[in-house]
């Protein structure tokens, strides 16, 4: 029973950390990742962990800076261009009967 409580506590802590990281603004994520990169430079961590921390610390913000999922604004350098065959979505309201 004691080991089960420890595993559950570790899972809850891990899920809470993931949720906090996902909902954190991009600027705060980069600052936290930069601080972690400085601290982990002295620890012998696997290369995959170190690479992910360094990538998060060096990531550039998207258009609004709230998350890293959107493209930069159209006038910004290195803006993503949409393919020529892209069509807009059209939403039709359903009329009440």
Q: Is residue 83 a part of any domain in this protein?
A: no
pTM: predicted TM-score of the whole model, two decimal places = 0.52
Q: Is residue 73 part of a domain?
A: no
DSSP secondary structure string for all residues of 31-93: HHHHHHHHHHTTS---HHHHHHHHHHHHPPP-SSSS-SSSPPPTTSTTPPPPPTT-------P
Query: What is the pLDDT, as a whole number, of residue 80?
Result: 60
Is residue 20 situated within a structural domain?
no
How confident is the prediction for the chain on average, in pLDDT? 79
- In a domain? residue 96: no
User: Does residue 93 lie in a domain region?
Assistant: no
Is 51 within the bounds of a domain? Answer: yes
pLDDT of 60 strictly over 90: no
Residue 75 lies in a domain: no
Residue-number span of the structural domain to which 29 is assigned: 25-67
Q: pLDDT confidence of 78, banded at 50, 70, 90?
A: low
Q: How many domains does the chain have?
A: 1
Q: Is residue 90 part of a domain?
A: no
pLDDT digits (tens, 9 = 90+) for 10-49: 999 999 999 998 898 888 888 888 888 887 778 888 888 8
Residue 1: pLDDT over 50: yes
């Amino acid at each position: 029973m004691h080991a089960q409580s420890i595993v559950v506590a570790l899972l809850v802590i891990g899920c809470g950390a993931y949720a906090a990281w996902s909902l954190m603004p991009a600027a705060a994520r980069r600052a936290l990742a930069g601080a972690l990169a400085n601290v982990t430079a002295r620890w012998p961590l696997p290369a995959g962990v170190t690479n992910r921390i360094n990538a998060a610390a060096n990531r550039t913000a998207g258009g609004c800076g709230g998350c890293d999922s959107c493209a930069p604004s159209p006038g910004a350098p290195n803006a993503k261009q949409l393919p020529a065959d892209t069509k807009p979505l059209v939403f039709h309201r359903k009329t009440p009967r």
